[in-house]
């Protein structure tokens, strides 16, 4: 199980590299893109299960790439919002596709029936701990 996860992560990272993203940046971008409204930095760090100071270089890199921008939260001027740009949404879609392709590559050795069974088993495990 550990090796499969490692292979999946390596395949994903390999596909992200031409996009100029690392897995941590792609994950942050995905969370920002899926948020109902621009998230505060503190909320984003919490969702990513990292401390806020570890989030700063991630958001810096995304901002330098033009994928997000920081804005002062009008509801609390001491807070910073992370706003995804149109380029960021397009990149989040590309990163999602890279993730899907990495999974397809890894599980290509399984039959359709085996993939369905694996999905059911993983959903069962996730429901227990999710």
Place of tokens 């599980």: 107
Alpha helices in the chain (DSSP H): 2-16, 23-34, 41-48, 52-64, 86-107, 112-129
Q: Would you list the domain boundaries of the chain?
A: 2-129
Residue pair 44/82 in contact by the 8 Å Cβ criterion: yes
Total residue length of the chain: 130
- State how far the Cα of 39 lies from the Cα of 79, in Å rounded to an integer: 10
Please say whether the dihedral angle defined by the alpha carbons of residues 101, 22, 52 and 64, taken in this order, is positive or negative: negative
User: Which pLDDT does position 128 carry in this prediction?
Assistant: 86
Q: What is the pLDDT of residues 64-119, one digit of tens each?
A: 999 999 999 999 999 999 999 999 999 999 999 999 999 999 999 999 999 999 99
What lies within 8 Å, CB to CB, of 99 at 6+ separation is: 12, 15, 26
CATH value of 2-129 in 3.40.50.720, 3.40.50.300, 1.10.10.10, 1.10.3720.10: 1.10.10.10
* pTM of the predicted protein model: 0.86
What lies within 8 Å, CB to CB, of 76 at 6+ separation is: 40
């Amino acid at each position: 199980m550990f090796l499969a996860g490692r292979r999946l992560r390596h395949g994903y990272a390999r596909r992200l590299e031409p996009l100029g993203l690392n897995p941590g940046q792609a994950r942050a971008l995905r969370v920002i893109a899926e948020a109902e409204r621009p998230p505060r930095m503190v909320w984003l760090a919490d969702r990513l299960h990292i401390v806020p100071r570890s989030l700063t270089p991630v958001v810096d890199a995304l901002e330098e790439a033009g994928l997000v921008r920081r804005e002062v939260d009008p509801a609390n001027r001491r807070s910073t919002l992370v706003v995804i740009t149109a380029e960021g949404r397009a990149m989040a879609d590309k990163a999602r596709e890279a993730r899907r392709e990495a999974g397809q590559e890894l599980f290509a050795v399984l039959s359709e029936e085996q993939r369905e069974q694996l999905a059911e088993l993983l959903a069962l495990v996730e429901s227990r701990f999710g």
